[in-house]
Chain A
Amino acid sequence: MSENNVLLRVQNLKKYFPIVGGLLGRQIGAVKAVDGISFDIKRGETLGMVGESGCGKSTAGRAILQLHQPTSGKVFFEDKDLTQMSGEDIRQLRPKMQMIFQDPYATLNPRHSVGKIIGEPLVIHGIMKKGSSELKDRVVELLELVGMDPVYMRRFPHEFSGGQRQRIGIARSLSLDPSFIVCDEPISALDVSIQAQVVNLMQDLQEQLDVAYLFIAHDLSMVKHISHRIVVMYLGKVMELTERNTLFENPLHPYTQSLNSAVPIPDPKSEQKRRRFILKGDPPSPANPPSGCVFHTRCPLTEEKCITVEPEFREIHPGHFVACHLADEKGSSMIPEQTILASVMS
């Protein structure tokens, strides 16, 4: 916490969901949705978070905002540990940390007008009074900020398209001038044409308002477009964390490499030459994760050590973190060409 521009620091954050069974409802296991993740986010930065469905991305976002009580670990927001705070203290901090949700259809109350939805956070925190002209002006301003006509303020959410609803959701999350927003797959429910609009809008807003994003998505190309740094998750753990360009040009973890190879290139010639490396099988259950490295069941490079010893999440180059035994400065955990060819043939 020496650097002042670190806004949020996550340390070894865990969130387990108990599995209860039997007549008495005893706990018989736990889904390790988030299993010890660490990273930090600087002011005004976008940290992309990618991973397959069910790898704990959304849970991580909610645990950071304390919408899910973390099982253990620490979350420092502006050097204050959120996990040690009372509910009321966190409530006081909520204006600074907001969330944009995945499903723009479910997250807007169908009985509330757009104006009421966008103004609600301001009313909750007593910043502006319900029905005041001040509030109305602020809602108008927010609607214009996200590129919508203020006359829409009396309409209801069901009267809008998905992209417009997501804009409403963004306007709501911006109403309190937050310094940090968790964006939980804000674009995955939208059409591709609208995805670009929304992502560009979010980028513009970041420049204007200097807000930091934790941008959760499973679409690597979109994350590449918006993020400064990217964290790759697999089965509740962080596999790799580095600058955006490094991640795409010099990925050190075999999992990142396989994800990378799945991104299409928008140029037919290079696209033909693109080598695809397709992982076999499904990710294991987070209720019963594999021993050692959680990725060893699907990794083409698995060695003895990977099955028994859990790899440390270490900094290989400055700012480049990897959890893989085989990665070193030279990047020897690259999947060899033969493996790639073999997987394409099969």
Chain B
Amino acid sequence: MENKDITTQRTSDSLLDVERTFKERLAYAGRFLWRDRSGVIGLVLFLIVVIAAVFAPQISPYDPLEQNLRDNKMPPAWSDGGSGDHPFGTDNLGRDSFSRIVYGARVSLTVGFFGVLIAGSLGLVIGAIAGYMGGRVDTAIMSIINLILSLPYLLFVVFIASVLGRSLLNVILIFGITDAPIFARVTRGEVLRMRESGYVESAISAGARWPRIIFDHILPNLIGPLITLATFEMSAMIFYEAGLGFLGLSVPPTIPSWGNMLAAGRKYLQAYPWIAAFPGLAIMFTSLGMNLLGDWLRDVLDPRLRRSRK
């Protein structure tokens, strides 16, 4: 009897909840973020870009399209001939570099976010079907995916870009579609591994139906690898978008984007290097931040690694 009392007392304790609440999980993630300093740097860099993109009109001192030919090719504020009015200097048409970089974050993030969203959703569905169904379906899907992946990526993107024309939507669609095979392949591999795993088999032997197996056992275990992949792919897309912009295949030149700025600065690289340097640095730090963030996410999303991370 005494034993029973202890049990009920313990049961009322919140320590005995079957699942952790969302708040607890968030606190958990926070603690592990703090321990991993490179993750903090990644998150800070990423947040700077996000804030710049969201509050671009409030942050930027000038209209990014406003030309002022009298003040063109001004050096950054800290070098000779620079002024505090234009902290990063101005470009060949006298447009404020700082404002253009802040606005450029919008293009980069939009392309990265929606590109990954499209690629991720397409890849998840295709990969999950291939992995779960197996057999001929799997063989057929994987053949197509390997065919797409065997094409030189950039050439493929350049070709589609030149056919579809220059617009933000086209860029997003191109990245969304060409990147889907990578997500599909990762998803398929994970699903295949999990389908044969002990815990899926034990769920079946407990009498679970397929929706439970997919939504309770397979998908939650997919989220970690996929979010990590998404971060890395987003950074790659920002990179490639700038590359396309540099080649004049991304958004039209009227929209300030880092790639377009690089292309504009190329002609003046020797005499006025800062015009190309600042968008280049912006790309570099964004990419670095997202890669650090991805590394940290990979560790924090895997419950097995949480403890071991110092």
Contacts and interface: CB of A to CB of B under 8 A. Distances in A.
Interface of A: 65, 67, 91-92, 94-95, 98-99, 101, 103, 105-111, 113, 115-116, 119-121, 124-125, 131, 133, 135-137, 139-141, 144, 150-151, 153-154, 156, 158-159, 169, 172, 176
Contacts of B199: 106-110
A91 B205 CA distance: 8
Contacts of B202: 99, 101, 107-108, 169, 172
Secondary structure type dominating chain B contacts: helix
A110 B303 contact: yes
Given A140-B11, A151-B16, A153-B18, A111 B206 contact: no
A12 to B, nearest CB: 23
Contact of B201 (A95, A107, A110): A107
Interface in B205-224: 205-209, 212, 217, 220-221
Nearest to A88: B209
B55 to A, nearest CB: 36
B70 interface: no
8 contacts: A91-B209, A94-B206, A124-B209, A154-B16, A154-B17, A154-B19, A158-B304, A159-B307
Contacts of B16: 115, 136, 140, 150-151, 153-154
Contacts, number: 106
Contacts of A99: 202, 205
B15 interface: yes
B303 A172 contact: no
Contacts of B13: 151
B212 A124 contact: yes
B309 interface: no
Secondary structure type dominating chain A contacts: helix
B309 to A, nearest CB: 13
Given A94-B206, A115-B18, A125-B207, A156 B197 contact: no
A124 B204 CA distance: 10
B205 A65 contact: yes
A140 B10 contact: yes
A150 B7 contact: yes
A81 B145 CA distance: 44
Nearest to B206: A121
A98 B304 contact: no
Contacts of B198: 101, 103, 105-108
A176 B208 CA distance: 13
| CB-based closest 8 A-B pairs | A107-B198, A106-B198, A94-B207, A115-B18, A109-B199, A121-B206, A158-B304, A99-B205
B220 A111 contact: yes
Given A111-B221, A115-B19, A140-B16, A158 B303 contact: yes
A272 B154 CA distance: 74
A283 B221 CA distance: 39
